[in-house]
Amino acid sequence: MSKRGATLSTSDVRRDAVVDAAITEFAKSGYHGTPINNVAARAEISPAYVFKLFPGKVALFVAALDRCTELVERAMSAGAARATGGSPEQILYEMGGAYAELIADKKLLMLQVHARSVCDIPEIAEAVRRGMGRVTTFAKERSGAADEHVQRFIAYGELCHMITTLDLDNHDGPWAAILTEGIRHPNAH
């Protein structure tokens, strides 16, 4: 991920690579199950250099969550752009579709799921709240939808998380059919 219009230093490039690697590794095994060595190996740098870029594992996890929020906002913005001239509800619908496309690659989805399991760590809880605040505010401001529609949009996103993580699209049973009815998202991979 490069910063537009700026020449990145080697440490900026490596920092971005480490955050990308952290997303992948934390998505696989969560905060507690992911040693910094795994992130460093994926980023092809030494663990010592990871600690030079980030003061600790919490800071690295928070950076991964912040990147996730940026990617979610970007996807929602692209979705909103598809609904040019649409009603607030249509804009939310397109934002939701763009988000569903984004989390079809389960890395970002699983990072969010794992983050909620470690919200007893204050810095991570704050990052999760900050991200949810940014996404909710963006949805409200960009769509112009009423609060109850934005709330429903966020709630459907949470339901989409559950459907995807539990693979309910491929689960038989009337209860799964109730939960998945009308929820659209690409198959996760």
pLDDT of residue 160: 86
AA letter at 101: E
Q: How many CB atoms lie within 10 A of CB 49?
A: 15
User: Which pLDDT tens digit goes with each residue over 38-89?
Assistant: 999 999 999 999 999 999 999 999 999 999 999 999 999 999 999 988 899 9
For the stretch 6-50, pLDDT in tens is 555 577 789 999 999 999 999 999 999 999 999 999 999 999 999
How far is it, in rounded angstroms, from Cα 16 to Cα 89?
35
Does the pLDDT at position 183 exceed 90? no
User: 1 pLDDT exceeds 50?
Assistant: no
Tell me how far apart the alpha carbons of residues 74 and 8 are, in angstroms, rounded to a whole number.
Answer: 21
Residue 8's pLDDT is 52
Across all residues in the chain, what is the average pLDDT? 91
Q: Write the pLDDT tens digit of every residue in 131-153.
A: 999 999 999 999 999 999 999 99
Q: Tell me the residue type at 140.
A: K
Domain 10-180 has CATH 1.10.357.10: yes
Only one residue has tokens 């397109």, namely 94
Contacts 24+ apart (CB under 8 A), 179-186: 183/156, 183/159, 184/97, 184/100, 185/100, 185/101, 185/103, 185/104, 185/160, 186/100, 186/101, 186/104
The percentage of the chain sitting over the pLDDT mark of 70, rounded to a whole number, equals 92
What pLDDT shows up at residue 167?
86
By mean pLDDT, which of 108-117, 121-130, 142-151, 180-189 is the weakest? 180-189
In the prediction, which pLDDT does 29 show? 97
The residue with greater pLDDT, 23 or 101, is: 23
DSSP secondary structure, 146-182, as one string: -HHHHHHHHHHHHHHHHHHHTTGGG--SHHHHHHHTT
Helix (H) or strand (E) holding 141: helix 122-143
The model's pTM is 0.88
Would you kindly state where each structural domain of the chain is located, as residue ranges? 10-180
